[in-house]
Structure 1
Amino acid sequence: MFRKDAAYIIVGGLTGLGWACVQFLVAYGAGHAVCFSRRKPSQENLKNINDLESSSSCNVVSEQVDVTRYDSVENGFKSVNNRFPCAEIKGVIFGAAILSDAIIESMDNVKFATALSPKVRGAWNLHLITRDLNLDYVVIHSLFPAYMVIKENRIMGLGIRSKMV
């Protein structure tokens, strides 16, 4: 399903559903899986990466990238190309999000923008960087709360919904 001679970028790939996507890529033949994360990997993340690499023929690495900043995304893609010069980038899986745990009506503009930025700016920056690439896959995933329309719905759900409309 995935190519040994290709690289796949997983935004938010160190934890949760993103990490499950990394494991899926590895299980189905990806040659290189690159986790983009705002944070450096924790010791637990590094152990998980090492264990996954040891049990497969896939290179699994992490790059510190803030998808809300174009220059950071650009540098992340350059780093992938430098690290794996013979591996064309063939897919992007995008699952980054920031939970802003507040009722929408009580949020100020800063909290609102902070919660939406990873999805909206991140998706736009990834589009700008990848628009000339010959990608096999672009996956933007999120969470079930996007479909919930209730007063207590968190802003993360709104950000998710904005990408689906």
Structure 2
Amino acid sequence: MTVQYCKAIGAKVYGTAGSESKVEYALSIGVERVSSSRNADKFKEDMRDLEGKVDIVINSLIEDFIPNSLNLLKKGGCFVELGKRGIWTEEEMKEKRPDIKYKCVAVDVMMEEDPAWFGGMLTRIKELVEEGKIESLPLKVFDMRGSDENGIDAFRYMQRAQHIGKVIIKIPTPFKYLELDTENHKSDVFGPEKVGNNHEYGIHVITGGLGGIGKIIIKWMLEEGVRKIAILSRSANNDSLRDIPEIKDYLNTDVVQIECIKCDVSILPQVENAFREIFTKFGETNQIHGIFHAAGILMDGAIASQTMEMMESVYAPKVYGAWNLHECCEKFELNKNLKHFVMFSSVASLLGNFGQTNYSAANSCLDSLVEYRRNKGMCGTSIQWGPWIEQGMAANLKQHLEKVGM
């Protein structure tokens, strides 16, 4: 990335590399000359004709490479140190080359101390990528569950220090395997402009689908290839889908079908009627492949201030809703084709949280329901989520980062 940035602003670039393949790659992206990053004497000899002619040195090497690189700098040049070990102090640098500027760059520290600078740099890089002046790095992709190359092989590959660019471990989608185009650095995630017949045909049901988390689930499903989604919500109507920027573009295709069904999931007859409506609208009775239960509300307060009404308000959508979904799976014989029965629980059910006794208890019920289903041979997963960036304190953190320039 550094080479591409320097080339984009018109600089001539000279560099080092540790293997023949890396030398070849560096030359292919425009480096004028490449020497060894393993042998300081060879580096000194290869770069001898550049002594006193270089404007900037960007260094991450140690020992003799530092003085050898300093010899290349012209008077008034700049030495940028990216390394963390074996680096020179400002006093050592002043003693050797008092005429140059010396900058130690620790990005991990600078992004905390000066987030506005860091955010600005990311923005400039983004603009260069959009303008086509910088390309993404080479990718070496390993399939987590691959038979030839898997996740363990990825770490072994990195240990050999022969990789160029980034090593990627591909996690399979729960709906369908998506191929990663390593040549063009793109995945075949299904965007609004790329919908077709190569997708997951089953129906997926989401409760609380019009809430903040629900919208994220819908967008994720669409990107993963799901094309039939039923949203159960107390305030559901299909017109409201057009107001959701994350998904409205998908609605302009003939392949995607999203139906909003008005339903209070805490009331069993309403849930039963909702499933009957799903069967009617989608024209299929046994093709529900996934149920994702994300409905829920917060009614926080210290134990002393909790009332039965507050407890009931929290339990109704989460606990009663989850059990009603389970009951409908039994009643309509959905379990034989069901692949995903996912409960959106919370880490509060495991660790607790101040003022959220009712919420913690309700989520524990979701965990127990999944355990019950699995003991009966039915599918079930309960995810004890931490904070979501779209809600609560995490949302405030996002706003804070934006204010300071990130």
For 1:104, the aligned partner's letter is: I
Which segment is superposed worse, 18-27 or 139-148? 139-148
| Contact 1:94–1:139 under 8 Å retained in 2 | yes
* Distance change >3 Å, CA 150–CA 63, structure 1 → 2: closer
**3-state secondary structure, aligned to 1:141:** strand
In the TM superposition, what is the alpha-carbon distance from 1:124 to its structure 2 partner?
Answer: 1.0
Name the CA distance, whole Å, in 2 between partners of 1:42 and 1:61: 6
Unaligned runs of at least 5 residues, structure 1:
none
Aligned residues: 165
Q: Determine the structure 1 residue equivalent to 2:316.
A: 117
For 2:276, the aligned partner's letter is: K
For 1:6, the aligned partner's letter is: G
In the TM superposition, what is the alpha-carbon distance from 1:45 to its structure 2 partner?
Answer: 4.3
In the TM superposition, what is the alpha-carbon distance from 1:14 to its structure 2 partner?
Answer: 1.1
Q: Determine the structure 1 residue equivalent to 2:351.
A: 148
Name the CA distance, whole Å, in 2 between partners of 1:74 and 1:42: 20
Which entry has the higher C-alpha Rg, 1 or 2? 2
TM-score where L is the length of structure 1: 0.86
Give a deviation string over 1:131-158, Cα, whole Å, max 9, x none. 2212011100133333333543352233
In the TM superposition, what is the alpha-carbon distance from 1:161 to its structure 2 partner?
Answer: 2.6
Q: Determine the structure 2 residue equivalent to 1:79.
A: 277
Q: Determine the structure 1 residue equivalent to 2:234.
A: 38
The answer to whether 1:93 aligns with 2:274 is no
Name the CA distance, whole Å, in 2 between partners of 1:15 and 1:154: 22
Name the CA distance, whole Å, in 2 between partners of 1:15 and 1:56: 25
* Distance change >3 Å, CA 32–CA 109, structure 1 → 2: same
In the TM superposition, what is the alpha-carbon distance from 1:98 to its structure 2 partner?
Answer: 1.6
Give a deviation string over 1:100-159, Cα, whole Å, max 9, x none. 132233111121111111111111111110122120111001333333335433522331
The answer to whether 1:13 aligns with 2:216 is no
Higher relative contact order (CA 8 A, sep 6+): 1
Name the CA distance, whole Å, in 1 between partners of 2:312 and 2:270: 19
The answer to whether 1:103 aligns with 2:302 is yes
Which segment is superposed worse, 55-64 or 82-91? 55-64
**3-state secondary structure, aligned to 1:156:** helix
TM-score where L is the length of structure 2: 0.38
Name the CA distance, whole Å, in 2 between partners of 1:25 and 1:98: 23
* Correspondent of 1:59 among 253, 257, 279: 257
For 2:203, the aligned partner's letter is: A
For 2:319, the aligned partner's letter is: V
For 1:116, the aligned partner's letter is: Y
The answer to whether 1:164 aligns with 2:364 is no
Name the CA distance, whole Å, in 2 between partners of 1:150 and 1:114: 18
In the TM superposition, what is the alpha-carbon distance from 1:56 to its structure 2 partner?
Answer: 8.1
For 1:103, the aligned partner's letter is: A
Identity %: 24
Name the CA distance, whole Å, in 1 between partners of 2:322 and 2:343: 8
| Contact 2:209–2:231 under 8 Å retained in 1 | yes
* Distance change >3 Å, CA 17–CA 108, structure 1 → 2: same
* Distance change >3 Å, CA 102–CA 27, structure 1 → 2: same
| Contact 2:231–2:260 under 8 Å retained in 1 | yes
* Distance change >3 Å, CA 150–CA 65, structure 1 → 2: closer
